[in-house]
Structures are given as C-alpha cells and as structure tokens.
Amino acid sequence: MRSTGRLHLGNYVGALKTWIELQEKYDCYFMLADWHALTSDYADPSNLKATIRGNLMDWLAAGIDPERSVVFLQSLIKEHAELALILGMFTPTPWCERNPSYKDQIVQLANKDLETYGFLGYPVLQAADILVYRAHVVPVGEDQLAHLEITREIARRVNFLHGGPIESGTNIPENPIFPEPEPFLSAIPKLPGFDGRKMSKSYDNAIYLTDTADQVWEKTRQMVTDPARVKRTDKGDPEKCSVYTYHKLFTPDRTEEIGSACRGATIGCIDCKKILAGSVNAILEPMRERRAALESRPGTATEILADGCDRARKEAEATMAVVRERLNLAGSVEDLAPEATNPENSH
Ligand code: SF4
C-alpha cells in the first residue's frame, strides 16, 4: 500500500478487509510502500514518516496480525531497489508506456509533474516488490490487473532467458527463478466521500479509521441524501443516496429493510444516518481499542516493524542470491577469484 495519506473507510473495504481474511489462508507480506509514495510525492516528502507510522498503526489496529504476517517497510529492504534495477534491463519501455494507469494518473494528478523516469518505471519497481518474495498470489482489484500482467511478463522474460533449458514442446524453463504470480481478485467497492463527491484527499471528505465516534456522526450527518426527500413524508429512492451506498457495505444485514423503509417513507433520513453511524462505529470501535492498547506500550509497533523487516530481508536476500548467481553477477569479491571467473565454470 502506497504511504500517501491517512487511511479511511475506502481503504478498509478496498484492501485491509481482504488482507485480514487472506491471513487465514496464506503466508502474507504486507508492504508500506514509501518509495512508491515518492514517485508522485517526491517534491514534498515532509509527511512521509508520519504517514508510514500512521498507516502501520491503522493496519495493526484493523487486525493485521504480525505473528502470522510479515509487515515491512519497502525502503528498508534495499533488495527491492537492486531487483528493480536489474528487472529494468529486461523490461521494454513500451510495456511501461502502455500501462493504462500511467496516462490516467498523469491526467488525474495534473498538479504534479509525473513525466519522470521513476513514475514511468513504477510497474518495474512493483514487479520487484512482488518477485523479490517469489510471491504466488497478489491481491488486486480489476484496475490493477494490467500492473500485475507486466510483473508476470517480466518474470516470464527473465525465466525464459535464465531459467535453464526449455522443456521440450513447451515454453517453460526447467528451473525458473520466479513464479508467475496469480491475481487474487476481489471486488473493490467504490465509496463516495461523505459530501457525495469522489472520495479524495484534496476534498478531505473521508471517514478516517482514526475518527472518533463523534467525528463519525458529524460526517455521517452531513451525507448527501436523495434530494426528492424534502419532507419526512416524502418517499425516497435509496439508490440515489450515498447513505444507502454505505449501508450496503456497513449494514449488510439490514440493507433491504432500510431500502424499503426509505421507499415507503417510514424512516427519516436522520434516523437512517444514525443507524449508519452505529454500523461504522461498530467496525471502528475494536480498532480504537487495539490502537489505544498499542499506544499504551510505546515501542511495540516499532518492534513489530523491525521484526517484519528482518523476516522480509531474509527472503529478499535469498532471492537476490539466486538472481545474482544466474546473471553471473559477483555476490562478493571472492566471486572474482581466477577459478570463479573461468567461463567454463559459469552456467
Ligand atoms: Fe438516504 Fe436513508 Fe434518507 Fe433514504 S432514508 S434518502 S436511504 S438517508
């Protein structure tokens, strides 16, 4: 996850909720992606460390379990950078240029100069993030499938050239370096901001995971409802109301009941919003408790991150040892001894 700001309900339903479930089935690696944040925020990184710390606390509060999963900071595992540099040698530039989100983001973030080498190479760094752990599965939304496809193509290219002899009748090398990661597709619901506009940092219109119960109510109270319901007795259309969009995600057991009460004007918008605030707070309350417990033990989150970085680094180092060996790169000066540099001894 790019460390670009405070986490909100959209991040929870779009990513964190799935991650928490994935921990049940997989050995998971969760990365605070600070280098990726720099690809767009390089001009002003003044909030970066505070954002990372806040995101880490949010993850742990939401239920990411550091006993089961590896939680780490991208820039502290230098192997990501080394592998990205090497994968860049294998990546034709059109693969990056045709990436649909590249042009899209340049338009969306028009206030930033993103015509940079680093931003163009974003998918290569992302490939390194995935392949350095030889990941088999990556949780993505539909809109990120193209990114993962570039990772798969890069892995295939490296494997084809350096994965040993190709098995006869196939395209598959006998000894691939990287698995081709599969997508774990989950529907990413689109949550509007509480003012009805697109949820965005610049509009500051999100309910944050750190909001208090009062802040949740204050924001819920402001939510835009069906404009046809001027009076309490006016019948409404819940599909035209952002409160209802939130109910579908946060009050799933009562969605039908609320929808027909709105259509029949048997519920008022204030009561409907109170139910929603209650549902959101029911999700956030356990997070508040876990966050308070973490904050009462200063140093715990830092220790968790240090341990996660150690575990991640071991995996990344093991992968890079294989990569260096296959590419005939020296792992140390001893690798340049006369007997080691004889091409007869090389693969
Ligand atoms: Fe929206 Fe609820 Fe009011 Fe219907 S009753 S318009 S769903 S807030």
Taking alpha carbons only, the member of 104, 72, 85 closest to residue 154 is 85
Task: Please give the model's pTM, rounded to 2 decimal places.
Answer: 0.92
| Ligand 1 touching residue 16 (CB < 6 A) | no
Q: Say which range, 101-110, 161-170, 239-248, has the weakest mean pLDDT.
A: 101-110
Query: Looking at the DSSP assignment, which residues form a beta bridge with residue 137?
Result: 182
Which of 261, 278, 295 marks a domain boundary?
A: 295
Q: For ligand 1, atom 4, name the residue with the nearest CA.
A: 262
| Ligand 1 touching residue 267 (CB < 6 A) | yes
| Residue 197 belongs to some domain of the structure | no
The CATH number given to whatever domain includes residue 312 is 3.40.50.620
Number of domains in the chain: 2
Q: Could you identify the residue written with the tokens 């350096």? A: 162
| Ligand 1 touching residue 238 (CB < 6 A) | yes
Please state, in angstroms and rounded to a whole number, the distance separating the CA atoms of residues 187 and 185: 7
Q: Say which range, 32-36, 110-114, 183-187, has the weakest mean pLDDT.
A: 110-114
The CATH number given to whatever domain includes residue 270 is 1.10.240.10
User: Is there a single domain that holds both residue 217 and residue 92?
Assistant: no
- Give the range of the structural domain holding residue 133, as residue numbers without chain letter: 9-190+299-345
Residues 6 or more apart whose Cβ sits within 8 Å of residue 269? 225, 229, 236, 243
Please state, in angstroms and rounded to a whole number, the distance separating the CA atoms of residues 78 and 68: 23
Largest CA-CA distance found in the chain, in angstroms, rounded: 90
Which ligand 1 atom minimizes the distance to the CA of 229?
6
| pLDDT at site 267 | 97
Taking alpha carbons only, the member of 153, 175, 155, 156 closest to residue 165 is 175
Which ligand 1 atom minimizes the distance to the CA of 259?
7
| Ligand 1 touching residue 269 (CB < 6 A) | yes
Q: Could you identify the residue written with the tokens 């100069």? A: 113
Residue from 243, 246, 254, 273 to probe ligand 1 pocket by mutation (most atoms less than 8 Å from CB): 243
| pLDDT at site 346 | 54
**pLDDT grade for 90, boundaries at 50, 70 and 90:** very high
User: Is there a single domain that holds both residue 224 and residue 162?
Assistant: no
